[in-house]
Structure 1
Amino acid sequence: MAATEHRLVVVTTTHESEERARALASAAVRERLAACAQVYPVRSVYWWDGEVQDAAEWRTDFKTRADLADRLGAFLADRHDYETPEVIAVPVVAGHPGYLDWVVTETAGPGPGG
């Protein structure tokens, strides 16, 4: 493991349906806003409308460059079904050098919309 020299982040969001999560993951990767995205089931417990909610959701983690985090966040928020979607970015502080380079390479090219 090496400390990252690339300034990468993992951007996370959640969705009600697997289908919607996978569609947004595919769209973001096609647009080169993320090198990859992982979709998996989670159980979320949170405050909403004055009470504690307990819901099955689908979490999506997007691997990308820090300088793309705002664009990716706006892309996700614009296409999200939730009134207040979770869209957060967490810095990558270390990783396999080859993987870190791969994320940079795969997000460097223009996507169909760019």
Structure 2
Amino acid sequence: MEEASDYSIVWVTAPDLKVARDLVKEVLALHLAACAKIIPGIESHYWWQSQLESASECQIVFKTRKALMAALGEVIQAHHPYEVPECVSVAMQEGLPSYLQWIDQETDQPPTNA
């Protein structure tokens, strides 16, 4: 394993699979992340406008470089239907060198039409 503090794992929730897939397609087409996982059927409970709410949502998990976080966040904000979308990240601690190199390779590409 290798030190990986230049890389991030990003969580974004989406209201359904269509929105999640659209967000993933946009982020990956811009090479702002190397990959994304969509986890359907999560149950979220949260406060919204002083009301306790719950919803069935999808969780998206992106793997990216810290240097791309601002741009990734801008894309999520611009294309997400929520007024206040969840887009949070944590720094990776360690990773296999080959995996980290793969993230570098895939996020160091020009935008494509995915």
- Give the structure-1-normalised TM-score: 0.91
Identity level (%): 35
Q: Superposition pairs for residues 58-97 of structure 1, below 5 Å? A: 58-97=58-97
- CA distances 1:56-106 after superposition (whole Å, capped 9, x unpaired): 100111111100000000011100000111111211111121111101110
Unpaired segments of 5 or more residues in structure 1? Answer: none
Measured after TM superposition, the shift of residue 18 of structure 1 is: 0.6
Measured after TM superposition, the shift of residue 112 of structure 1 is: 3.2
Measured after TM superposition, the shift of residue 27 of structure 1 is: 1.6
Matched, 1:46 2:36: no
Amino acid of the structure 2 residue aligned with 1:27: E
Amino acid of the structure 1 residue aligned with 2:21: R
Unpaired segments of 5 or more residues in structure 2? Answer: none
Find the residue that maps to 2:82 and give its secondary structure: coil
Pairs aligned (count): 112
Measured after TM superposition, the shift of residue 2 of structure 1 is: 2.4
Q: Superposition pairs for residues 1-114 of structure 1, below 5 Å? A: 1-4=1-4, 7-41=6-40, 42-112=42-112
Give the Cα separation in 1 of the matches to 2:2 and 2:67.
Answer: 20
CA root-mean-square deviation: 1.4
Find the residue that maps to 2:105 and give its secondary structure: helix
Amino acid of the structure 2 residue aligned with 1:34: A
Give the Cα separation in 1 of the matches to 2:96 and 2:18.
Answer: 30
Measured after TM superposition, the shift of residue 26 of structure 1 is: 1.4
Amino acid of the structure 1 residue aligned with 2:98: G
Give the Cα separation in 2 of the matches to 1:52 and 1:96.
Answer: 41
- CA distances 1:26-61 after superposition (whole Å, capped 9, x unpaired): 121111011001101211111112121111100111
- Give the structure-2-normalised TM-score: 0.91
